[in-house]
Structure 1
Amino acid sequence: MTVSEELIQRRRAVISDGLGMVTPLTAASGKNSILIDLDGREIIDFASGIGVTSAGHCPDRVVAAIENQARQLIHTCVMVATYEPYVALAEDLVALFPHGERTKVMLTTTGAESVENAIKIARQATRRSGVLCYTGAFHGRTMMGMALTSKVAYKRWCGPFPGGVYRLPYPDYYHQGDGLSQDAFVSRELRRVEDAFQTMVPADEVAAIIIEPILGEGGFVAAPAAYLQGLRRICDQHGIMLILDEVQTGFCRTGRWACYEYAGVTPDISTWAKAMGSGMPIGAVMGRAGIMDKAQPGTIGGTYPGNPVTCAAARATIQVMKDQDLCGRATHIGNLIGERFAAFQEQYPRVVGDVRGMGAMRAMELVQDGDPHRPDPARCRRILETCWEKGLLVIPAGTYKNVIRLLVPLTIEDATLKRGMDILSHALDQSFQSE
């Protein structure tokens, strides 16, 4: 038995099976885009801890910031005693992501916590309760997060969930385009929103519409820019808060600091986490100051959010992203991946149904006989298993787990990226030999 196998055996003995194990791989250490497992094997990381280590594993500047802050102050709780790292990080975030003339911030520990608080703030700001969300969405595993999340596998037997949540079809042109032009498709999908005010919940009872500009767990499907622009108009018309969930898309992943920049819209509230702290547990809710200040004292906050050490890590991570131009790097990486994905689709058009993404947030959807409505999760699983055996960490996405999603560290070298893509290409070829 290998050391890795022994650790997995120990895990199964003491850790709940409810905590999913996506891959059989282990990790002992990591640097940049490479993990080393417990047996000393090198693994190319195409997952980044689900989009977290965008600045690479253990960047020197972030490690130094963590060490330095831990020697000075680890905890007080910002509601008990205010400290510099919390305020300084909030200032950094306001400068990066202005929401109108004045922006305010609250820090959190996770993306789910960011979403929970965004909903609370929106409801207090509007004095309304309804929330519109989308099919394919993933907003976390807290109770409100699961109410907003679409996939039933994530919330089986966990209900009842908080009320006032209503779900719309995500504007997914590949699966739901029905031969329409892009413009006609967007018009139809925006009409669904207006229709919901007649069939689901009156507009004057809706506090917020929450949407991921690109579905994360839902398979990296991007909402058309015109759709997000239409949502902005609808929200303005009806006094509804537009919440954009940037937990997986934010901090350079798509080639912009915020994915919503592509659509030229500004949300009322936005949610963040993942890549923000290079693996330290930190997130944020941001919004227009007049909205954020509608939260009543005591209704938001917690013991650990914005811990001094995590704030120091986030500030150092942001500086690394700026200094290394990780937005530009994401665009370059995305172009390289896009070329390879396009070649896969040309070679196997009846299997690689769609290739998509923005910046370095890329995905390849596997289908049967070229049919968007016939997902092929079995082939996806075979490909992933081959990748894991060959030293490439890559994970699935999508409602049916038939989407291969790439979330490579944005600091990955071109040569390492090529090696990983070669392994993926080999695995795709191999998937036909087992049929």
Structure 2
Amino acid sequence: MSTPSTTVGSAVLGGPSLPQERRLVTAIPGPRSQELLERKAAAVASGVAHTVPIEAVAAGGGVVVDVDGNSLIDLGSGIAVTSVGNAHPGVVAAVQDAVAQFTHTCFMISPYESYVAVAEALNRLTPGDHAKKSALFNSGAEAVENAVKIARKHTGRSAVVAFDHAYHGRTNLTMALTAKSMPYKSGFGPFASEVYRAPDSYPFRDGLSGAEAAAKAISLIEKQIGADNLAAVIIEPIQGEGGFIVPADGFLPAVVDWCRANGVVFIADEVQTGFARTGAMFASELFGIVPDLITTAKGIAGGMPLAAVTGRAEIMDATHGGGLGGTYGGNPVACAAALAAIDAFENEGLVGRASEIGAALRARLETLQASDPRIGDVRGHGAMIAAEFVDPVTKAPDAALTAAVAKAAIAEGVIVLTCGTYGNVIRFLPPLSMPDHLLQEGLDVVAAALAAA
């Protein structure tokens, strides 16, 4: 076994200083990781599960290092959070400076400049050249809840439409918006009322054009809900947990046009797709749409908890004073991290890097698909690519194969995440700081795991 090149314990080196290599010193989990997992089982609620059985002690570039000295290739980015790279130097410096000044005042009590600066940046960067305003929160689910609140207040209507395969969060309202029962909703009801579901565009499974899928969804909305009762339509431009489903061309523009014609607020949930992840700053740009409201989180602050709702000023201002906010929303340390992360997205070529990573992912996965009919579909944009695994004859979802490939890859030191309503999709979300050699090595391991499955 090789000797760990990263000190573990009180003097762990992280960020870009980490050797960019896959290194297995022990089996996964190693003995020290196993000790933590035993403590976790005794101390942490069993509903808080984990995917990779390690104790992480450092991360940066394209790797996560555990307490036993193993270095794993990270193809998950903490679910699309560490897009700028874990422990990015600019984010680290900004956090250190901010935390030395003050850790909290509550923006609703004593405002501070960094919150305003983040709002200004979001108003500038999000799609559309109309007047915008923003409000900051802590998590993607919180942002979605507040977007719905704002839309209801603006329209005076109560109904909200979400789509098949949607994921919007784990709070009560966002569970209602989320489509998948297990593990997100089962046993947690009753859920918030006046939430309805429409069919999305899923080209691999429905075979419809974008126009056909939009007409089907709009017909259902008009017949079962009625435009006059509808406050908002909310959708992920590329659905995340539902399976990285990319809608057919024309689907989203048709839905947006219908919303505009009927006074319905169109909310783009870009919690997972935002901030360069798809090869555009926001995925809405890929489809030529301008949302009325856009929710962001995950990649916004380089790993610090922050989220936002940004939208048309007249819609955002519909809410009375005190109607939006929260004790920790727009925490000053998180805001400092966000400003540093946004600077990296804009000035370190990360939008282009996402496209390069996406091209490499697609090329490798499509080559595998050409010789292995168990890969039913390869889809996505930028550094947000997925492979859907199926029965090669019936095209039925194959969740067992998907789980086996992911488990085998993790055992060999490559972090991969599964997703999909049917549990049959592996999603690839590498940090945009990942070097090419690690990306290819990670895909080698996944390919070997598939061949052996």
Report the TM-score, using the length of structure 2 for normalisation: 0.92
Report the CA distance between 1:264 and its aligned residue. 1.4
Report the CA distance between 1:95 and its aligned residue. 1.3
SS at match of 2:196: strand
Does the alignment pair 1:231 with 2:255? Answer: yes
**Superposition CA RMSD, Å:** 1.1
SS at match of 2:305: coil
1:299-330 residue CA offsets vs partner (Å, 9 max, x unmatched): 21100010100000000011111221111000
Partner of 2:8: none
Does the alignment pair 1:7 with 2:36? Answer: yes
Conservation of the 8 A alpha-carbon contact between 1:110 and 1:283:
yes
Q: 1:17 aligns with which of 18, 39, 46?
A: 46
Q: 2:245 aligns with which of 210, 221, 231?
A: 221
SS at match of 1:371: coil
Aligned partner letter, 2:328: Y
Within 5 Å, which residues of 2 pair with 1:70-219?
Answer: 70-153=99-182, 154-177=184-207, 180=208, 185-219=209-243
Conservation of the 8 A alpha-carbon contact between 2:210 and 2:247:
no
SS at match of 1:368: coil
Does the alignment pair 1:261 with 2:291? Answer: no
Does the alignment pair 1:427 with 2:449? Answer: yes
Does the alignment pair 1:360 with 2:383? Answer: yes
Conservation of the 8 A alpha-carbon contact between 1:225 and 1:262:
no
Does the alignment pair 1:271 with 2:301? Answer: no
1:364-396 residue CA offsets vs partner (Å, 9 max, x unmatched): 011012433x11111111111111111101110
Report the CA distance between 1:225 and its aligned residue. 3.7
SS at match of 1:8: helix
Partner of 1:30: 59
How many residues of Structure 1 are paired with residues of Structure 2 in the alignment?
Answer: 423
Structure 1 unaligned segments of length 5 or more: list them.
Answer: none
Does the alignment pair 1:40 with 2:63? Answer: no
Cα separation, 2, equivalents of 1:74 and 1:108: 16
1:131-158 residue CA offsets vs partner (Å, 9 max, x unmatched): 0111110000011100000001111111
Most deviating of 120-129 and 194-203: 194-203
Report the CA distance between 1:293 and its aligned residue. 0.0
Does the alignment pair 1:410 with 2:432? Answer: yes
Partner of 2:21: none
Cα separation, 1, equivalents of 2:161 and 2:246: 18
Does the alignment pair 1:295 with 2:319? Answer: yes
Conservation of the 8 A alpha-carbon contact between 1:99 and 1:288:
no
Does the alignment pair 1:339 with 2:363? Answer: yes
Cα separation, 2, equivalents of 1:306 and 1:371: 49
Conservation of the 8 A alpha-carbon contact between 2:214 and 2:252:
no
Report the CA distance between 1:99 and its aligned residue. 4.1
1:318-361 residue CA offsets vs partner (Å, 9 max, x unmatched): 11112211110000000001010011101102x01111110110
1:256-306 residue CA offsets vs partner (Å, 9 max, x unmatched): 001000111110001000000111000100000000000112221100010
Does the alignment pair 1:307 with 2:331? Answer: yes
Cα separation, 2, equivalents of 1:345 and 1:107: 42
Aligned partner letter, 2:226: P
Most deviating of 420-429 and 94-103: 94-103
Cα separation, 2, equivalents of 1:198 and 1:216: 26
Partner of 1:391: 413
Cα separation, 2, equivalents of 1:249 and 1:198: 28
Q: Which runs of 4+ in 1 moved over 4 A?
A: none
Aligned partner letter, 2:379: R
Report the CA distance between 1:197 and its aligned residue. 3.7
Report the CA distance between 1:425 and its aligned residue. 1.1
Conservation of the 8 A alpha-carbon contact between 1:99 and 1:268:
no
Report the TM-score, using the length of structure 1 for normalisation: 0.95
Report the CA distance between 1:94 and its aligned residue. 1.2
Within 5 Å, which residues of 2 pair with 1:62-77?
Answer: 62-77=91-106
Cα separation, 1, equivalents of 2:222 and 2:202: 23
Cα separation, 2, equivalents of 1:149 and 1:98: 25
* Alpha-carbon distance change, 393 to 197 in structure 1, aligned in 2, over 3 angstroms: closer
